[in-house]
Structure 1
Amino acid sequence: MKRIRSILNRDRSPPTTWIQSAQSNEGAEGISPAKLPSPEEQGARASMIWTRKKVAWLVILIFLGVAIIVVVVTVPVVLLDNRGSPDDPSYHNKANRPIRSVDDFPDPGLVHVNGTWYAYGTDAAKDDPNVPHVPVATSKNFSTWALLQGYDVLPTLSGWETNINHYAPDVIQREDGRFVLYYSGELKDWLRHHCVGAAVSNGTNPLGPYVPRNQTLACPRDQGGAIDPAPFKDADGTLYVVYKADGNSIGHGGDCNNGKKPIVPTPILLQQLQNDGVTPVGDPVEILTNEKVDGPLVEAPVIILTDQGVYYLFFSSHCYTSPKYNVKYAYSTSLRGPYIRAERPLFKSGDFGLKSPGGATPSVDGTRMVFHANCGGHDRCMYAAAINISANYTITPAALIGT
């Protein structure tokens, strides 16, 4: 009976497991019992394992959440960036490629007289008084251009301007047959700042020479001066000049001196003129100004009017030293606006291999255009191109066919 109880009691004792013991001090090996973990220890281990699983799942969920946020934020940005991609077939047609025409000839103005095209350029050697103040190139077919070496359409200057740094000239013919040249000149009493000047040809030759007026045509000093003038004749014959208030010249540094906040406005202003093309009528009207998408500025404005009664305002945005520099346009059924911006620039870096295209001037009929783009080193070369204005207000490149 005692033996039976002993056996029963032995069976109720905690279970044991046998493991091989390490070598004893005497060098003998043997088998020794070891206890299994208690229920409390097993619970603690299970809790630890469960906690690790929860941490792992939490990490995975956080990673997925971050990934979703990145996708939600990135996809709209990519779509916006691609919105202006050259998806129109005209940008993939090599026949539409602009032609490099004149080296070192920025900001070209344009006029067509008696079967000859005349382009007027910025004084590229800005610090050399021995180069032409306003160089000129000519063409019979718009494809092949010849620079008139050493010829200066503005050989004499007005008393208010320095002998260097003449920017963005442009020309128009008035009713008496003479031509008016508009340009940006540097102020003697405010160096590195410009205002708009005007000069009238002695005769009826678009090559001039031109005689400058004694005073500036537009000089808003509180807005930083004025540059990039371009003439415009409305359907009723009224003359205007459009130009940029040079706000970035009084900016706070950075890209084109206006990349640091607060960004200074660089509005495009429209000034009505008398029939002489040099006398202002009333005050200028702002028709466009720089927005966030324009970087530090808008500049180089030019206006044309189509046969459909639509006004197109061409302009450039961003700094001319930046790869973001471009040729943009906006349209309106009223000369004074408001102007609706096109979604895509007409020309931007990458189109046909162009680098920083800008400073464009279209022909009066809106079929051709000259502009500049970087062409090696610090040079900006003139390019000639054809354009097509569609009924939906979209302008695209076209094949240049000489006339």
Structure 2
Amino acid sequence: MLFPHLSSWALGLFLLPNALARPLHTQEAGSVLALDTDFPDPSFVQAADGTWYAFGTNGNGKRVQVASSTDFKSWTLLDKEALPTLASWETEIDHWAPDVIRRDDGKYVMYYSGEAKEMVRHHCVGVAVSEGTDPTGPYIPIETPLSCRLDQGGSIDPAGFLDKDGSRYVVFKVDGNSIGNGGDCNNGIAPLKPTPILLQKVAKDGFTPVGEAIQILDRDDSDGPLVEAPNLILHEDTYFLFYSTHCFTDPLYDVRYATSKSITGPFVKNGVKLLQTGDYGLTSPGGGTVCGCGDRMLFHGFCREDTRCTYAANLAISGDEVTLL
């Protein structure tokens, strides 16, 4: 995500290793530079014709950025505003980490983080539905946010999931570090706030809550100040919850995963860093989104000092282990 308390930037960027100065071709061994522009928190969906569409946090003059690809390696940034109108609860700024799913009726549903007018610098998970069947939009926002939880710091980083029985869910982070006591990502000074990942079942429309959200993960000391950017897939009989740890400005920012045999958990962390600084010349890789098919991923990392580009990588899953190819 794009964290609002930017006082951590100076320290984080000072700590970044020399990877920022490495030529981009060093990143092609295990990942490909997909979008050489500011395109953080990438997610993606495949249209009915097989074309891939990626969506990114606000940047390049757009609230929600869109890119397309036919091969998942070469991506083109589109001059398209996916979210031209806003709901009444949100401000103009901070449209983070959009995630799009294709609904049974052919329309698309976008989940995103927006700043709440009720408590600026804190966020809710908003939902918007495509006007037609074009995955690039325009998306029309639903007036009621899916989750706010402003008393706990807000809700961010949503991602949709379709289970094997046809049930739909959304995972998201409770942004506890936004009300932390300062330090690393505003949550480095004790007592540290929880930053739980919640699972919310939704109706077939993709946005009407069914029951209450349940917690499936939270930070511990090995995660630094937070866990965030959840992404859930099912491979054979195992659920994989991908997530990032530490602050996005920190070289310790990474992509990890936890597994479970049940959608509701418990999800068990294995401590494996699927991506970390230094791998393939990357710096602070995170925000990973994995295809439901389990064989490809988009993620962001610092490609220049103030820019997080999007990268693509191929994966293999065997049992409960994920391997980068």
* Fold match (TM-score > 0.5): yes
Percent identity (aligned):
53
1:162 aligns to 2:97 (yes or no): no
Name the structure 2 match of 1:98: 31
Q: Could you tell me which residue of structure 2 aligns to residue 174 of structure 1?
A: 103
Q: Deviations over 1:109-147 (max 9, x none)?
A: 11111211110000136xxxxx21101000000110000
For the 8 Å contact 2:42–2:98, the answer to whether it is kept is: yes
2:27/2:282 contact within 8 Å kept: no
Contact 1:182/1:196, CA 8 A, preserved across alignment: yes
1:324 to 227, 235, 252: 252
* Contact 2:173 2:230 (C-alpha < 8 Å) held by counterparts: yes
Partner of 1:123: 58
Q: Does 1:251 align with 2:212?
A: no
More helix per residue: 1 or 2? 1
SS in 2 for 1:137: strand
2:69 corresponding residue in structure 1:
139
Confirm or deny that 1:199 pairs with 2:128. Answer: yes
- 1:352 partner SS: helix
What is the distance in 2 between the residues matched to 1:381 and 1:194?
A: 23
Find the counterpart in structure 1 of residue 19 from structure 2: none
TM-score (normalised: structure 1): 0.73
Instruction: State the secondary structure of the residue aligned to 1:280.
Output: coil
The Cα offsets for residues 159-217 of structure 1, whole Å up to 9 and x where unpaired, read as 11111110000001111111100000001121110110000011111111100011211
Task: Name the amino acid aligned to 2:58.
Answer: D
2:272 alignment partner, SS class: coil
Task: Confirm whether residue 352 of structure 1 aligns to residue 280 of structure 2.
Answer: yes
Q: Distance in 2 between matches of 1:335 and 1:146?
A: 35
The within-5 A match list for 1:107-118 is 107-113=41-47, 114-118=49-53
Q: Which residue does the alignment assign to 2:324? A: 397
Q: Deviations over 1:68-121 (max 9, x none)?
A: xxxxxxxxxxxxxxxxxxxxxxxxx98742011112100001111121111000
Q: What are structure 1's unaligned runs of at least 5 residues? A: 1-92, 126-130, 399-403
Asked if 2 retains the 8 angstrom alpha-carbon contact of 1:110 and 1:118, the reply is yes
Please state whether the residue corresponding to 1:189 is helix, strand or coil.
helix
> Alignment partner of 2:273: what SS?
coil
Give the Cα separation in 1 of the matches to 2:38 and 2:156.
Answer: 19
Greater relative CO (CA pairs within 8 A, separation 6+):
2
C-alpha contact (below 8 Å) 1:96/1:397 kept by paired residues? no
Residues 96, 386 of structure 1: 8 Å contact kept: no
Matched length: 298
- CA distances 1:28-85 after superposition (whole Å, capped 9, x unpaired): xxxxxxxxxxxxxxxxxxxxxxxxxxxxxxxxxxxxxxxxxxxxxxxxxxxxxxxxxx
SS at match of 1:248: helix
Runs of 4+ with >6 A deviation: none
Which whole-Å CA distance do the structure 1 matches of 2:59 and 2:237 have between them? 36
**How far apart are residue 343 of structure 1 and its match?**
2.9
1:148 paired residue among 63, 78, 87:
78
Q: Counterpart of 1:243 in 2: which secondary structure?
A: strand
Name the SS for the 1:343 alignment partner: strand
Residues 389, 95 of structure 1: CA spacing in aligned structure 2 closer, same or farther, 3 A cutoff?
farther
CA distance in 1, matches of 2:311, 2:27: 15
